Amino acid sequence: MAEVAPATGPSSAAPPWVSEVSWAWVGVVPFFVFALMFLILPTGLLVVGGFQDKGGHFTLRNLLDLFQPTILNSYLISIKVSAASAIGGALVGFALAYAAITGGLPRWVRPTLMTFSGVASNFAGVPLAFAFLATLGRTGLVTALLVHVFGFNIYSIGFNLLSFSGLTLTYMYFQIPLMVLIMAPAIDGLRREWREASASLGASTWEYWRYIALPVLWPPLLGATLLLFANAFGAVATAYALTGSSLNIVTIVLYAQIRGDVLHNQNLGYALALGMILITGLSNAAYIWLRGRGERWLR
């Protein structure tokens, strides 16, 4: 912290910082230097690189090349997995949070769920992939148990952990807890009186949800789903540990590109990253906008 304002005695009438406001910005210089070096410049250079050809001239070629089938397909798989795990995680997470908060359960349920959600929302990567392999893999605990007890093999009906459905199921392990953490405040804001008032006016449970709860809750619900989408879209370690490179989601393609220029075009790699930033950026922006709308009622 730089010395920007000499300590003024308590006798001075004006607060000590009034006269020297023009120097106050010096105090945040370290932060902005850090942000520039480790956030803005690295990202900015990738974005610029996405618009350049090998000679450094401006071009839109790389962006157009993103639409070649293999790359487009990897984006589509990523979007599909992210959307499925976001919607699934949002539904289950909301149900869990709603049950724990308004379900009339013992008092300890809610803090336990919140603590656990804090843990599980950070559980990803290799350990998570391993947990699901040990459970639902070909020789996993549940797979073996189902064969033993019911003589029923889930792999015989087309389930495969190393595929779209398996990856989605695995992602939901950190998506559901994140949803619980985000939605708990919004559910808290759903006042008990609204339900009682609607019931005393003769509304059914369906009508309560249709005309009161959902109109209030939809901005935070949709916003949280978008946040979950962005969360899954950027995940790479879990998918890589689980499927290796057999499921070509876009983060794995980028990972391979970083390791060994598999696209044979550095600038196309930058464009790939740019596309990812665009997608997560848009869904985050929509989340922030929706959160602002939701706060009107949920105070």
Partner 1 sequence: MKPRRLGAWLVIVFGVLYFFVPLLGTFEFSLRLLRGVYSVAAYRIVLADPRFAATVTYSTVLALATIVMGVALVVPTAYWIQLRLPRMRPVVEFITLLPLVIPAIVLVFGYLRIYNSSSALPLTGSARTTDLLLMFSYVTLALPYMYRAVDNGLRAIDVRTLTEAAQSLGAGWSTILLRVILPNVRVAVLSGAFLTFAIVIGEFTMASLLDRPALSIISFAITWACMGFIQVFGRGAPGQVAGAH
Applying the rule CB under 8 A, the residues between 52 and 71 that interact with partner 1 are: none
The CA distance from 44 to 33, in Å, is: 15
Helices (H), the chain: 29-35, 41-50, 61-65, 69-102, 109-120, 126-136, 141-150, 164-188, 192-200, 205-208, 214-233, 237-243, 250-260, 266-294
234 backbone dihedrals φ, ψ, rounded to 5°: -85, -10
Q: Does 247 bind partner 1 (CB under 8 A)?
A: no
Q: Does 189 interact with partner 1 (rule: CB under 8 A)? A: no
Number of residues lying near partner 1 (CB under 8 A): 94
121 binds partner 1 (CB under 8 A): yes
Minimum CB–partner distance for residue 157 and partner 1 (Å): 19
Tokens 């006042």 identify what position?
A: 191
Tokens 């949002």 identify what position? Answer: 90
Residues 12-41 that bind partner 1 (CB under 8 A): 15-17, 21, 24-25, 27-28, 30-31, 34-35, 37-41
- Does position 199 bind partner 1 by CB under 8 A? no
Provide, rounded to whole angstroms, the least separation between the CB of residue 14 and partner 1.
Answer: 12
Q: Which residues, 6+ apart, have CB-to-CB distance to 138 below 8 Å? A: 155
43 makes contact with partner 1 (CB under 8 A)? yes
What is the footprint of partner 1 within residues 215-244 (CB under 8 A)?
Answer: 230-238, 241
Residues in 255-284 at the binding interface with partner 1, rule: CB under 8 A: 255, 258, 269-270, 273, 276-277, 280-281, 284
Smallest gap from residue 211 Cβ to partner 1 (A): 19
Sole binder of partner 1 in the list 161, 251, 267, 291 (CB under 8 A): 251
DSSP H helical ranges for 103-191: 109-120, 126-136, 141-150, 164-188
H or E element at residue 60: none
241, 129 Cβ separation under 8 angstroms: yes
| Using rule CB under 8 A, residue 185 touches partner 1 | yes
Given the rule CB under 8 A, which of 52-60, 62-70, 134-142, 210-218 is the region that contacts partner 1? Answer: 134-142
Contact indicator for 229, 171 with CB cutoff of 8 Å: no
Site for partner 1 in 138-157 (CB under 8 A): 140-142
